[in-house]
Amino acid sequence: MDTIDENIKYANTLSGDFYSSHNEFENSKENIFAKSWQLIGDNSHLSQANFKKPFVFLDEFISEPLFVVNNNNHSFKCYSNVCTHRGNILIDKACESKEITCKYHGRRFNCNGEFIFMPEFKEVKNFPLKQDNLSEIPLNRWRQFLFCSLNPKINFNSLIQDMEKRIGWMPIEKFQFDSGSSKDYFVNANWALYCDNYLEGFHIPFVHKELNKVINYEDYQTEVFTYSNLQLAESDSEQTCFDLPENSLDFGKNIAAYYFWIFPNMMFNFYPWGLSVNIVKPLKPNLTKVEFRTYVWDESKRESGAGSILDKVEKQDEEIVENVQKGVKSRYYKSGRFSPKMEMGVHHFHRLISNFIST
Average pLDDT over residues 260-284: 97
What is the sign, positive or negative, of the torsion defined by CA atoms of 349, 149, 165, 301? positive
* Among 14, 9, 5, 11, residue whose Cα is nearest residue 324: 14
Residue 72 has pLDDT above 90, yes or no: no
pLDDT at 75: 85
Residues 45 and 31 in one domain: no
Residues 6+ apart with CB under 8 A from 254: 216, 234, 235, 236, 237, 238, 241
Lowest mean pLDDT across 17-31, 41-55, 322-336: 41-55
CA distance 262 to 268: 8
For the chain, give the percent of residues with pLDDT over 90: 89
154 located within any domain: no
Tell me the mean pLDDT in the region 270-278. 97
d(CA 293, CA 144): 13
Q: For 22, phi and psi rounded to 5 degrees?
A: -65, -40
DSSP string covering 78-117, please? EEE-B-TTT--B--SS-EE-SEEE-TTT--EEETTS-EEE
Q: What are phi and psi of 304, to 5 degrees?
A: -140, 160
State mean pLDDT over 172-199. 97
Percent with pLDDT over 70 in the chain: 99
- Are 101 and 247 in the same domain? no
Domain count of the fold of the chain: 2
> Residue 74: pLDDT band by 50, 70, 90 thresholds?
low
Asked whether residue 153 is assigned to any structural domain, the reply reads no
| Residue 148 covered by a domain | no
Which of residues 93, 126, 142 is at a domain's end?
142
Tell me which amino acid residue 157 is.
Answer: N
The CATH number of residue 133's host domain is 2.102.10.10
Arithmetic mean of pLDDT, 153-162: 96
pLDDT tier, 49 (very low <50, low <70, confident <90, very high otherwise): confident
Q: Which range is most confident: 74-83, 230-239, 285-294? A: 285-294
Task: Indicate if 214 and 77 belong to the same structural domain.
Answer: no
pLDDT band at 46 (very low <50, low <70, confident <90, very high): confident
Domain with 101 in it: 38-142
User: Tell me, what CATH number does 257's domain have?
Assistant: 3.90.380.10
Would you state the pLDDT for residue 278? Answer: 97
> pLDDT per residue over 292-350, tens digit each?
999 999 999 998 888 888 999 999 999 999 999 999 999 999 999 999 999 999 999 99
Instruction: Flag whether pLDDT at 237 surpasses 80.
Output: no
Is the domain of 103 the same as that of 233? no
What's this model's pTM, rounded to 2 decimal places? Answer: 0.95
Q: β-strands 266-271, 255-262: how paired?
A: antiparallel
- pLDDT, mean over the chain: 95
Same domain, 91 and 179: no
